A and B are shown apart, each in its own frame.
Chain A
Amino acid sequence: MEFFRIHKDIPFMKHALVFNVISLLTFLLAVFFLATKGLHFSVEFTGGTLMEVSYSEPPALEKLRDALAKEGYQDAQVQNFGSARDVLIRLPNRDGVETGKVSEKVIASLGAIEGPKPELRRVEFVGPQVGKELASDGAMALLLVIGGIVLYLAMRFEWRFAVSAIIANLHDVIIILGFFALFQWEFSLPVLAATLAVLGYSVNESVVVFDRVRETFKKKRGLTTPQVLDHAITSTISRTIITHGSTQIMVLSMLVFGGETLFYFSLALTIGICFGIYSSVLVASPLVMWLGVSREQFMQPKKEKQEAVV
């Protein structure tokens, strides 16, 4: 079997501008949604109490809400989760209330309702101190990833590659966040992990192409820079699609079988993989070109110093 039968190098660079404009538009759209709608942060970030209870038969959510309101939790969000028998309850933190005890009070008041009795599946309580730290730790992790990758690529390749790879892939991260803002999907810690993993993963992609670019520059003389880039992308495209396809199979499997906890995690990965291919190949390469990459940068530096007269 061979999916890709390409006779000539595909002239990707001819359309470089188009790709970048598409990219820029998606990016701006993502920023727009992030700015207007904002992320729907999970309890881990905002602090509060989250409870998952399950019933032997579907309960009436209205009754649950009433019971909670009577206890003084008017701001409780009660919704079905997964199935009609599973209920998710969210309670924000409030000042002055002994937050650690909330879950017990809630379960007691739910137990007092007539009908099926609740079974506690999961409680998550996060104090206000923890959330702030998570946000700053996340930002630090992002900075460390960016710094580390730029440094490594600059060392192994050239600063132009490092800069274009990181720009292309940061824009993936923003787009993932944009999706989460647009659809108001829950942004939790696993999603954060997925987002950062995507950053490392799609830089991967750029690295493979850049590797080819370097090799082509060294081996084939007489090609212009756009031709070199076209050749590099074309000869790696089969690998690109197959690799990402395989990773996507795995992620898809998590999306289907992983349940609620892994759902948004794998969703973030899916978006990241799709945009990762696009951006690391079709955005990063033109950026390298515009930054002025050329053959000379990969040739052995001539030993001009020998001419000096001592």
Chain B
Amino acid sequence: MNRYPLWKNLLIGIVLLWGLIYTLPNFYGEVPAVQVSSGKATLKLDASATLKRVEESLAASGLQHDGLFADLNSVRIRFHDTDTQLKAKDVVEKAFNPDASDPSYVVALNLLSASPQWLTSIHALPMYLGLDLRGGVHFLLQVDMKGAVTKRLDATTGDLRTLLRDKNVRHIGISREGQTVVVRFRDTENQARAKAVITANTNDLQLVEGQDGADFKLTASLTPLAQKTIQEFAIKQNISTLHNRINELGVAEPVIQQQGLDRIVVQLPGVQDVAKAKDILGRTATLEIRMVDDTPGALEAAMTGSVPPGTELYNERGGRPLLVKKQVVLTGERLTDAQPGFDGQTHEPAVHLTLDAAGARIFKDVTRENVNKRMAILLIEKGKGEVVTAPVIRGEIGGGRVQISGRMSSEEATDTALLLRAGSLAAPMEIIEERTIGPSLGADNISKGFHSTLWGFIAIAVFMCLYYMLFGFVSVIALASNLLLLVALLSLLQATLTLPGIAAIALTLGMAIDANVLINERIREELRNGSSPQAAIHAGYDRAFDTILDSNVTTLIAGIALLVFGSGPVRGFAVVHCLGILTSMFSAILVSRGLVNLIYGKKRKLEKLAIGQVWKPGV
């Protein structure tokens, strides 16, 4: 009666074997590696060609590598020791970036799992360690969505003005008021025409007619759908901008993810230079192109304190004052790229800008109408503007390719290009959470977590073996297989393992033994009541099952609640906790029963069970 059918034994065996295979990569440790990835948003990495180039350059300098790997965005080369790694980095750097001032590729040092190829090919990877275990920087960035919408409305104000002028609709003023744009008219005729024109040209605006004293007005606000699109676009654009900026840092495996509606998580493992990382991330800047107001006398008036309406006073980078119109011609959204380079004819250093189609059209119009006037490119950081550059428009510029040159050093060109690119963030961001963990603390945390689990496990194992003898040993094997399956599952899912996660592993083990204690106590009880050994095993497992199920479900409910509402450390705890409850159900019931069946199942005349002393009242 205490025998499992063959398929059940096989199932247990296969699951355990699977667990073993997927746990394996965690034992191999890491080896030094070099990672090559694209350094420019416009440059797509061609994996096979890159592999070939890397191999050739390494062979040319006689360096041995331990394997090449390619994924979607990068190519990684494993090396035997750090010495070769460093040499190889230089070699590859030279091969891929002949012009050090304008690197197209990012070549960075990295660590790769040392597990053999066949494991990697079945996606058996080591557990993904969280920042608190490997060291690094974690940022949570909040995207200012209101800012994104406001900015779009400012641009809309300009668009409407152009539109109404093109269609010859007379109005007496367009302005943004809070989250709406208000257009005023003298009569209803123009109001009606404007409404028709605007509705025909855009679906993004909701129009409400109204009256303001003697004037008629149209209040335009963004439709909920348009707002949603803007916000989604804003966060996507910010994420891709962050990707590019972080590439400049050369981080091995950065994590840049959206969290919730308006937040971005950035994790940079291994980065210790927080200041630099923050500097690059924290440039929460937006770019605006506006016209310079060069009405004679206006600047002088502004200097004395009476800034003409519709303009703002800024300082150029050199320190000279500049009067800039408030109306935004173009924003950073329209800018797709900015690169330093050289003027084709004069060979002077220059910055090359690329605009998208809509931006190019606007830019063409603006430059045609403003030849020989100056435009200012402003970088707005947290409400404060800074003039990056204020070039003179030499002629009409079409096609969206813009070159800014003259009186610039090559270094300045590089800086300006970087600033312009940095400015193409769609909406301002703010760091609302930061966590930095030094590499030594990470290593400490791993060893602390490991030791507490290890010693706890040993203590439980010793006690169980002493108290329940052979059944205790079976329980310990079940508990060990629980640990094995849990680690395998975590490795397979690549769930992030954090210190609270390790605590959850320990706690789950401590709680999982409950099921085996329940079973063993039940078996003893059955023996005490006079059952035969075989019947006692059968009844013990059978009766304990309901209790085990109920108690695990209630624990799971708590775990899921933590998973749903937890963030950061709590989530790390909850993931492992929930998975651990599931694996413990399997191992405590199936694995331990399977073992007991193997040991006792075939013995027909079983007199005694090695479950420790069974005390009977009155004996």
Interface residues of A (CB under 8 A from B): 1-3, 5-7, 44, 52, 99-101, 103-104, 119-127, 129-130, 133-134, 137-138, 140-142, 144-145, 148-149, 152-153, 156, 188-190, 192-193, 196-197, 199-201, 203-205, 207-208, 211, 215, 235-236, 238-239, 242-243, 245-254, 256-259, 261-262, 265-266, 269
Contacts and interface: CB of A to CB of B under 8 A. Distances in A.
Given A120-B438, A207-B554, 15 more contacts: A99-B431, A121-B438, A124-B434, A129-B142, A137-B567, A141-B566, A144-B564, A193-B573, A211-B550, A242-B521, A250-B459, A251-B456, A253-B455, A265-B500, A266-B503
A302 to B, nearest CB: 24
Contacts, number: 245
A257 B455 contact: yes
B561 interface: yes
A144 B574 CA distance: 14
A247 B514 contact: yes
Query: For the complex, would chain B's binding face be called helix, strand, loop or mixed by DSSP majority?
Result: helix
A149 B499 contact: no
B568 A259 contact: no
Given A52-B441, A156-B550, A193 B500 contact: yes
Contact of B435 (A123, A129, A236): A123
Interface in B519-535: 521, 524-525
B415 to A, nearest CB: 21
Interface string B424-436: 0000001111111
B573 A253 contact: no
A257 B543 CA distance: 37
Contacts of B500: 189-190, 193, 265
| A-B pairs, 8 with minimum CB distance | A200-B558, A250-B510, A127-B432, A253-B456, A250-B456, A125-B434, A141-B565, A148-B557
Nearest to A247: B510
Contacts of A203: 551, 554-555, 558
Nearest to A250: B510
10 contacts: A3-B467, A122-B438, A124-B435, A129-B432, A246-B464, A247-B510, A250-B453, A253-B452, A253-B455, A253-B506
A196 B569 CA distance: 14
A249 B614 CA distance: 24
Given A119-B438, A249-B510, A130 B445 contact: no
Contacts of B100: none
Contact of B507 (A188, A199, A238, A250): A250
A76 B210 CA distance: 55
Contacts of B618: 7
Interface of B: 132, 140, 142, 274-275, 278, 282, 430-438, 440-441, 444-445, 448-449, 451-453, 455-457, 459-460, 463-464, 466-467, 499-500, 503, 506-507, 509-511, 513-514, 517-518, 521, 524-525, 543, 546-547, 550-551, 553-562, 564-570, 573-574, 577, 612-615, 617-618
Contact of A2 (B431, B453, B558, B615): B615
A246 B558 CA distance: 21
Contact of B460 (A122, A129, A192, A249): A249
B452 A257 contact: yes
Contacts of A258: 448-449, 452, 503
A169 B290 CA distance: 64
Contacts of A193: 500, 562, 566, 569-570, 573-574
Contacts of A133: 567
A101 B430 CA distance: 11
A145 B514 contact: no
B503 A239 contact: no
A2 B613 contact: yes
A257 B459 CA distance: 13
B441 A137 contact: no
B448 A259 contact: yes
Given A141-B564, A249-B459, A122 B452 contact: no
Given A122-B441, A197-B562, A152 B557 contact: yes
B441 A246 contact: no
Contact of B567 (A134, A188, A242): A134
Contacts of B452: 253-254, 256-258, 262
Nearest to B439: A121
A142 B566 CA distance: 11
Contacts of A243: 513-514, 517-518
A1 B466 contact: yes
A200 B561 CA distance: 10
